[in-house]
Amino acid sequence: MGHRSSSSVGVLAAAAAGTWDRFWFTPKTARRLAVVRALAGLLGLLLAWSWAGDLVVWFGPDGIVSPQVLGAWRSPTALSLFDVARSNAALWAIFLLGVGLLGMLAVGTWTPFTAPLVAIFWASLLHRGPMLVGPADDVLAVILWCLVVGRSGDAFSVDRRLAAAEALPSWRNGLALALLRLHASVIAAAAVVAQLKADVWWNGTAAWWLSARESTRVDLTGVFAGSEIATNLVTHAIVLFEIAFAVGVWNRSTQSLVARAGLVGWPLIGLVAGEPLWGAAMAILAWACLPEDSAAGTAGRPL
């Protein structure tokens, strides 16, 4: 009996190990990850543009985010390449170097080197002005570190054009995509948990508070003011979508549906919430969650 129970434990452990291996280490082609890389590079360029206009005003030698401000805001373990910039010229040099790297990442040039350098640049930029950082910056940072893990330059890239040999599937691509899927789910789940602490997400008026802000990109106040039902519907739809996304990406039968819905849903939520670039970043994560289609020859056992 003891022998049987120990053998069943062994079977369970082996099954768990197999599931773990299949989820994290299944070799995948670079195509899906390459699209993530290109989109992340473009999003990074867009976000970098929003820093560029006031770069010196914020981070220059006489800028607002002075070392004293950083001392009060930043964690002691935080580091930034921009800390060594003591002049406007040095500040611009580091920034433009980073922008160039983002461009190289978008087109896939020297990707094994570019990807980690871009991730370091991005973390440095955010650490230089932590109080200026928005949710899109956060999500992009996560995506960039996931790209460091994979071999995203093996497809749709300058690297691919220049390579002599055909790129084969790699476990590193599978690992990067698995990490992206995990983060997509965690971010959606954490957003739901945060939202449901407040009354406005329960009484259905959150959509009103989002759309009535001065900074809103899409003015829906007329619609919402005229119909409380519509306001409630949009509010509850946002929460339900986030729950469905967080859970659905783990189920084989719903993964494709919620990931495709995420390609549309996240940008829409971003627009309503006044954070369109955050919506775009989440849509990139949704793309990473799409199961490989049959044409790609991926009939592996999904988790």
Query: Distance between CA 41 and CA 214 in Å, rounded?
Result: 30
What letter represents residue 93's amino acid?
A
Identify which of residues 37 and 183 has a Cβ nearer to another protein in the complex: 183
Phi first, then psi: what are they for 28, rounded to 5°? -135, 155
Copy the structure tokens of residue 73. Answer: 């805001």
Cβ contacts of residue 269 below 8 Å, gap of 6+?
238, 241, 279, 282
Identify which of residues 51 and 95 has a Cβ nearer to another protein in the complex: 51
Least separation in angstroms between residue 9's CB and another protein is: 19
CA-to-CA separations, 201 to 21, 207, 227, 235, 238, in angstroms, rounded: 39, 8, 17, 6, 9
Is residue 269 within 8 Å of residue 238, measured between CB atoms? yes
Identify which of residues 106 and 128 has a Cβ nearer to another protein in the complex: 128
Query: Distance between CA 43 and CA 285 in Å, rounded?
Result: 12
Helix (H/G/I), strand (E/B), else coil: 28: strand
Least separation in angstroms between residue 296's CB and another protein is: 7
Identify which of residues 200 and 261 has a Cβ nearer to another protein in the complex: 200
| Torsion angle of C-alpha atoms 145, 150, 156, 158, degrees rounded to 10 | 80
Copy the structure tokens of residue 302. Answer: 């999904």
Identify which of residues 36 and 48 has a Cβ nearer to another protein in the complex: 48
Identify which of residues 95 and 224 has a Cβ nearer to another protein in the complex: 224
Least separation in angstroms between residue 152's CB and another protein is: 13
Least separation in angstroms between residue 27's CB and another protein is: 3
Longest dimension (CA), the chain: 76
Least separation in angstroms between residue 118's CB and another protein is: 12
Least separation in angstroms between residue 83's CB and another protein is: 12
